[in-house]
Amino acid sequence: MNRSNQGALHQSKAGSDFLQLSAEDAPEGGLSDWLAASLRTAISDGRLPIGSRLPATRVLAADLRVSRGVVTEAYQRLTEDGHIVGRGRAGTVVVAIPHTPKSGPPSKTQPRPERPKTVFDSPPGVEVFEAARAAPARIDLSPGVPDLASFPRTAWLRAERAVLSELSAVDFGYGDPRGAPAMRAAVATWLARNRGITVDPAEVIVVAGVAQTLDLLAQILQRDGVKELAVEDPGSLGTRQQFHNRDIATPPVTVDEDGIRVDELRATGAPAVLLTPAHHFPTGVVLGGERRRELMQWASEGGLIVEDDYDAEHRYDRPPVPAIRSMLVEQVCYTGSVSKLLAPALRVGWVLPPPKYREAFVAAKRFADLGNAVLPQLVLAHLMESGELERQLRFLRRRHRQRRDAMITAIREYLPEAKVHGAAAGLHLMITFDSSAFKSNDAKLAAEILARGVKVQPLSWHHQRPARPGLVLGYAANNQSDLAEGIATIAEALHHQ
Amino acid sequence: MNRSNQGALHQSKAGSDFLQLSAEDAPEGGLSDWLAASLRTAISDGRLPIGSRLPATRVLAADLRVSRGVVTEAYQRLTEDGHIVGRGRAGTVVVAIPHTPKSGPPSKTQPRPERPKTVFDSPPGVEVFEAARAAPARIDLSPGVPDLASFPRTAWLRAERAVLSELSAVDFGYGDPRGAPAMRAAVATWLARNRGITVDPAEVIVVAGVAQTLDLLAQILQRDGVKELAVEDPGSLGTRQQFHNRDIATPPVTVDEDGIRVDELRATGAPAVLLTPAHHFPTGVVLGGERRRELMQWASEGGLIVEDDYDAEHRYDRPPVPAIRSMLVEQVCYTGSVSKLLAPALRVGWVLPPPKYREAFVAAKRFADLGNAVLPQLVLAHLMESGELERQLRFLRRRHRQRRDAMITAIREYLPEAKVHGAAAGLHLMITFDSSAFKSNDAKLAAEILARGVKVQPLSWHHQRPARPGLVLGYAANNQSDLAEGIATIAEALHHQ
């Protein structure tokens, strides 16, 4: 610990990060032998897998403070043995594993077997969405994504180039846990223009998607002694799982054609409710004016409204619906993201916490990850400020509308007995069936459909209480012929139950 | 809710996302008046701040289903009033706020006043690092960052272009919460080459930096009933704060010239310990061979070692030290990141959990944020696999070593009474002073130094128990003349106490 000043400028000791080689370990006069053997062992025990590259001889020799000839000779031996091969500018690459007995390090675990086909077993567990994604399918009609093939790669790269050319060195350091100032300003402007929300950028917190908002909120509610958060029924399964993970119960409240039943909400006695008022998931219902007024009254008596504005920008046959947050600030925790605008893989969203929880949110975000990555935030801010994101939204809206229409046309043709819900907006629609026409349940049906190569979500995943069977169908990410084939496949599975 | 199929293909209703305008709200025959008034109100109440752009007249007219002349006329009026101005291809931009009384939406909160200058008041709170970063300074010698000006912008952009050109549409969707397969493979290869660790990529979890590892681990330990995690004393203040946030105590264990005192660790009775064995923070000590053996014995009796390998790749005058995880798998939770290799702003790291906590880690990461953003992971994987990251590390090492030497030279010249510790590796060094030569304490000294325009961390931040006063000084991100000036300023502050 008490290294004195005298020693600090001494010559470096010989040694390489690469495999932690140190020539001091070598027997006298046998440097090449020692190095060749060390490399063989490393290839053999997996530290140098096939395809990995060895350092340049010059570099490794300098690190080890040995002559370059020592390294060249060791590489030569492994080349002669057929374990490595020189590929000119691409360097020296491992191509085969020596037949030496393994020692020391534990053997690699076997690759996991394919998941058993239990995606649609009920009740769905916390891994259900990953299991569903991992299941192979010809056509994927899972809801929740925009047309991913339309991701504006060129515009993204152009914006990133602009950002990288302007960034100062200090921007690469640790940042504000609330997000990059440019991104918070861009989000405030976006929400003002598109969602009717007036908010100071200082009140915007950038998060890793709505999922992170919900987890941070669940932690805050838990510490605040909140044990129940009422949710819409039906309502997102994934969202419920997030609160259950923090031991917060989710009493279900009926959603009818005007949205959540506020009288039922009152009856639960829950101090908070999670809503998708602009476009209810999965039914697509819009919260009606009278319900909004009842809800504001409920909130004014102390209730907390969590407003998940997950896909409000996507609408086709109806006027835009302003966010509840645009009318009520104190009792609303508003959240949204770019997952449905650009891509879920970006993991960028925002939350406008209610004032009483603002500091708690900043603290929770700080402890969670010290704040979102800076580069993607600045790229997004650039896309928002340049109008590129609005252009993308307009483009997507035309494309999604065509796909929505194609899905409905196919449903009329192949599935005339299905009732379509919520097709006026969003990225998905819901179909329901009369229970009487149904042999089993919708999870079973989804499994049959998957067996025929098409992926859908059973409506029952999103119901807490028994309800009519149905399916939730995303149309945004599929071309029209796949949509038609997908619906035809659903009909086939339904009719062959 | 029960929208029938019949309605779904109807004509869209008129309405624009932009300010949620709907021409149905306009009085008959007064469309331009109505639109001009709506825009004025939006500019006035902050929904359209100065500098924001209005939609193109063609676009807004189409959205509202009014003639383009209506929009042109409304824009013309605001232009004549001086509130907006047409800028050719750059569009129509808001330039002034109308003098109309504000109504409805709450007024913007005032910008926060500058933080009071209490950065070095003790004890340091959870906001201390942000407060320190926000404090203006001419020269920043805070530890914890590499040379940020050397971030390989061109290589990053090149890798991103390659990644974007190869990515499939589905990669933009929701991904594996454990991380992108390419990144997990690249991390496994990196750890094998550079840290002596043999690990199957399936066991690597990508996280948002070491901070996220620690928070996820704290949650898991908390659920597992663990109430104490022993830590090195001195040891990172930020790390301790993360565990305190989850109500886990951090009993201090002495670090001497061979690293942590394992006998003291035993005496605490804590079931887990957090270590920085390859390069102790902040003293720079390496855990000695005998201590390693004692520690492995302790772990074999059930203790959990959390190995924070935060900057092990940076070393100058000593051979590389393999990670504890390379020798022990079952009882080690290993974590590292690219924060010290490339930039903290990237928020990308990795954890190799001990087998018993592997599933819990995946679940915790899933609930935290559904997994890291995909694009930056793939760019990093590209930089790792192409050898670009190793080249960057070699470049940084030369540069950091020169800076380290410059700092030590300056200390010898200006601060001969200071004792230098831990200069053989890392991105920072530590200096201590005889208490007798000290008027007050090191936090007071850091405040005096900051008042002279130089930012440093007082050693006492990282001590849980009283100890010799000192400073922790980062040298990696500053040029040699700033380093000399910074040290001279420290001497000035010290001698004028």
Q: How confident is the model at residue A87 (pLDDT cuts 50, 70, 90)?
A: confident
Q: Which of B130, B215, B400 has the highest number of chain A CBs within 10 A, making it the mutation to test binding with A?
A: B130
Question: Is residue B32 situated within a structural domain?
Answer: yes
So what's the pLDDT on residue B436? 76
Q: Which residues of A228-267 are buried (b: 16+ CB within 10 A; e: fewer)?
A: bbbbbbbbbbbbbbbbebbebebbbbebeebbbbbebbbe
Q: How confident is the model at residue B6 (pLDDT cuts 50, 70, 90)?
A: very low
- Does pLDDT of B377 surpass 60? yes
CATH no. for residue B409?
3.90.1150.10
Closest Cα to residue A205, out of A313, A323, A360?
A360
Residue A28 burial (CB < 10 Å; 0-12/13-18/19+)? exposed
Q: Between residues A305 and A112, which one has the greater pLDDT?
A: A305
Question: Is residue B115 situated within a structural domain?
Answer: no
Of B45, B345, B372, the CB nearest to A171: B345
**Which tokens sit at A440?**
């089993």
- Does pLDDT of B266 surpass 80? yes
So what's the pLDDT on residue B116? 44
Average pLDDT, chain B: 89
Chain A partners within 8 Å of B329 (Cβ): 106
Q: How close is the nearest chain A Cα to the Cα of B322, in Å?
A: 7
What CA–CA distance (Å, rounded) separates A169 from A315? 41
**Which tokens sit at A27?**
């027997």
Of A148, A177, A189, the CB nearest to B169: A148
Q: Which residue of chain A comes nearest to B176, CA vs CA? A: A130
So what's the pLDDT on residue B32? 86
Q: Across the interface, do A1 and B411 touch by the CB < 8 Å criterion?
A: no
Q: Which residue of chain B comes nearest to A175, CA vs CA? A: B345
- Same domain, yes or no: A247 and A326: yes
**Amino acid sitting at position A6:** Q
- Same domain, yes or no: A260 and A399: no
Contacts of A297-302 spanning 24+ positions with Cβ under 8 A: A298/A262, A298/A265, A298/A266, A299/A328, A299/A331, A299/A332, A300/A331, A302/A271, A302/A331
A166-177: pLDDT as tens digits:
999 999 999 999
Q: Which residue of chain A comes nearest to B164, CA vs CA? A: A153
- Does pLDDT of B109 surpass 80? no
Of A164, A343, A421, the CB nearest to B3: A421
Q: How confident is the model at residue B8 (pLDDT cuts 50, 70, 90)?
A: very low
Q: Report the DSSP pairing between strands B252-256 and B230-233.
A: parallel
Q: How close is the nearest chain A Cα to the Cα of B310, in Å?
A: 15
Q: Across the interface, do B198 and A5 touch by the CB < 8 Å criterion?
A: no
Q: Which residue of chain B comes nearest to A255, CA vs CA? A: B1
- Report the number of distinct structural domains present in chain B: 3
Chain B partners within 8 Å of A169 (Cβ): 148-149, 151, 477
Q: Which of B339, B370, B487 has the highest number of chain A CBs within 10 A, making it the mutation to test binding with A?
A: B370
So what's the pLDDT on residue A103? 39
Of A8, A52, A420, the CB nearest to B3: A420
Chain A partners within 8 Å of B18 (Cβ): 193-194
B86-98: pLDDT as tens digits:
877 778 888 887 7
The pLDDT of B350-355, averaged and rounded, is 98
Residue B488 burial (CB < 10 Å; 0-12/13-18/19+)? middle
Q: Which residue of chain B comes nearest to A109, CA vs CA? A: B200
CATH no. for residue A80?
1.10.10.10
Question: Is residue B152 situated within a structural domain?
Answer: no
- Same domain, yes or no: B215 and B358: yes
- Does pLDDT of B491 surpass 50? yes
- Same domain, yes or no: A464 and A399: yes
**Which tokens sit at B428?**
């920072």
Q: Across the interface, do B13 and A317 touch by the CB < 8 Å criterion?
A: yes
Question: Is residue A111 situated within a structural domain?
Answer: no
Domain that holds residue A61: 2-94
Tell me how many residue pairs between chain A and chain B have CB atoms under 8 A apart: 358
Could you tell me if B307 and B333 are in contact, meaning their C-beta atoms sit under 8 angstroms apart? yes
So what's the pLDDT on residue B99? 61
- Same domain, yes or no: A368 and A398: no
Q: Across the interface, do A285 and B1 touch by the CB < 8 Å criterion?
A: yes
- Same domain, yes or no: A191 and A174: yes
Instruction: List beta partners, residue A54.
Output: A92
So what's the pLDDT on residue B162? 97
- Same domain, yes or no: A313 and A220: yes
Question: Is residue A228 situated within a structural domain?
Answer: yes
A369-419: pLDDT as tens digits:
999 999 999 999 999 999 999 999 999 999 999 999 999 999 999 999 999
Average pLDDT, chain A: 89
So what's the pLDDT on residue A99? 61
Of A189, A363, A420, the CB nearest to B126: A363
Of A11, A16, A212, the CB nearest to B368: A212
Select, from the ranges A6-15, A405-414, B438-447, the one with the highest average predicted confidence (pLDDT): A405-414
- Same domain, yes or no: B277 and B303: yes
**Amino acid sitting at position A160:** E
Q: Between residues B115 and A118, which one has the greater pLDDT?
A: A118
End-to-end CA, chain B: 74
- Does pLDDT of A4 surpass 50? no
Chain A partners within 8 Å of B156 (Cβ): 164
CATH no. for residue A177?
3.40.640.10
- Does pLDDT of A110 surpass 80? no
B69-80: pLDDT as tens digits:
889 888 888 887
Least confident of A98-112, A225-239, B326-340: A98-112
Q: Which of B107, B283, B366 has the highest number of chain A CBs within 10 A, making it the mutation to test binding with A?
A: B366
Domain end marker among B386, B418, B446: B386
- Same domain, yes or no: A413 and A426: yes
Residues 6+ apart with CB under 8 A from B242: A367, B211, B214, B215, B218
- Same domain, yes or no: A262 and A290: yes
What CA–CA distance (Å, rounded) separates B375 from A468? 40
So what's the pLDDT on residue A290? 96
Select, from the ranges A105-114, A429-438, B103-112, B284-293, the one with the highest average predicted confidence (pLDDT): B284-293
Question: Is residue B344 situated within a structural domain?
Answer: yes
**Percentage of chain B with pLDDT > 70?**
93
Q: Between residues A2 and B276, which one has the greater pLDDT?
A: B276
What CA–CA distance (Å, rounded) separates A463 from A469? 10
- Same domain, yes or no: A200 and A338: yes
A199-234: pLDDT as tens digits:
999 999 999 999 999 999 999 999 999 999 999 999
Q: How close is the nearest chain A Cα to the Cα of B404, in Å?
A: 9
Question: Is residue B163 situated within a structural domain?
Answer: no
So what's the pLDDT on residue B438? 73
The alpha carbon of residue B285 and the mean position of all alpha carbons in its chain are separated, in whole angstroms, by 25
Domain end marker among A345, A363, A386: A386
Of B5, B167, B198, the CB nearest to A46: B198
Q: Across the interface, do B245 and A367 touch by the CB < 8 Å criterion?
A: yes
Angle of the A209-223 helix axis to the B358-369 helix axis, nearest 10 = 100
What CA–CA distance (Å, rounded) separates A407 from B355? 46
B189-201: pLDDT as tens digits:
999 999 999 999 9
Domain end marker among B326, B351, B386: B386
Q: How close is the nearest chain A Cα to the Cα of B298, in Å?
A: 20
- Same domain, yes or no: A370 and A405: no
Q: How confident is the model at residue A13 (pLDDT cuts 50, 70, 90)?
A: low
What CA–CA distance (Å, rounded) separates A188 from A185? 5
- Does pLDDT of B262 surpass 60? yes
Q: Which residues of B78-112 are buried (b: 16+ CB within 10 A; e: fewer)?
A: beeeebbeeeeeeebebeebeeeeeeebeebeeee
B389-419: pLDDT as tens digits:
999 999 999 999 999 999 999 999 999 999 9
Of A347, A369, A419, the CB nearest to B209: A369
Q: Which residue of chain A comes nearest to B111, CA vs CA? A: A202
**Which tokens sit at A16?**
């390489």
Q: Which string of DSSP letters, residue by residue, matches A236-258?
A: -HHHHHHHHTTT-B--EEEEETT
Q: How confident is the model at residue A7 (pLDDT cuts 50, 70, 90)?
A: very low
CA distances from A202 to A188, A310, B129 (A): 9, 22, 19
Question: Is residue B117 situated within a structural domain?
Answer: no
